[in-house]
Amino acid sequence: MSIRLLALIPVAAAISLALSAAVEAVALPLFLDTTGTILATALAGPGVGIATGVVTSAVNSLRNPTFWPFVVVQIIVALYAWIAARAGLFRGLRTAVPAGLGLGVIASITSTPISYVVFGCTTTSGIALATAVGKALGLSPLGACFFGSFVSDFGDKAVTFALVTSVLHALPRRTAARFPWALRAIGAS
């Protein structure tokens, strides 16, 4: 792995950490903690993306230990983003947003059992509201947990894919060409 790709890992993790802290501070029902993972994967492939996700989860866990069990979600996000990049789904918002919605479904299916089993579905403030709505609708505790996760992940991953698509298209072609997957991800190769 080149120095350029190794250097991308902490930069992308910092992007995820900054966005995650920002949305948590204002209690939005979003995470944005996979933005750097998806960006790193779209630029450099699954190895760099997975490493970014693991670093992001490890550092986030220093701030809030409840983040560590969700490292598996970061890994699944990186693998999904690699498939999306290979398919050129970052070509534009018309392909990126539906791809993000698909990832939202997968992420909620992955994170719900973790949240339910490990934490009894006690979640961050933004997701707690959606979970409470699920309970108010008469859903079982597991159903309410899935509802909260689904509502948050569905929108979060669509926003994240749109954000990453915008960043990829904003990169000068010369810069993008230095990364193994960037041009293919936006459908330019």
Per residue in 103-117, pLDDT (tens digit) is 999 999 999 999 888
Q: For position 123, what pLDDT does the model report?
A: 66
Extract the residue ranges of the chain whose pLDDT is less than 70.
123-126
Question: CA-CA distance, 89 to 92, in Å (whole number)?
Answer: 7
Q: In terms of pTM, does the model score above 0.85?
A: yes
- Tell me the residue type at 165: T
Q: For position 107, what pLDDT does the model report?
A: 95
Domains belonging to the chain, first-starting first, are 3-185 (1.10.1760)
Q: For position 126, what pLDDT does the model report?
A: 63
Question: CA-CA distance, 37 to 26, in Å (whole number)?
Answer: 22
Judge contact between 49 and 40, C-beta under 8 A: yes
Per residue in 70-86, pLDDT (tens digit) is 999 999 999 999 999 99
Cα within 13 Å of Cα(119), Cβ side: 17
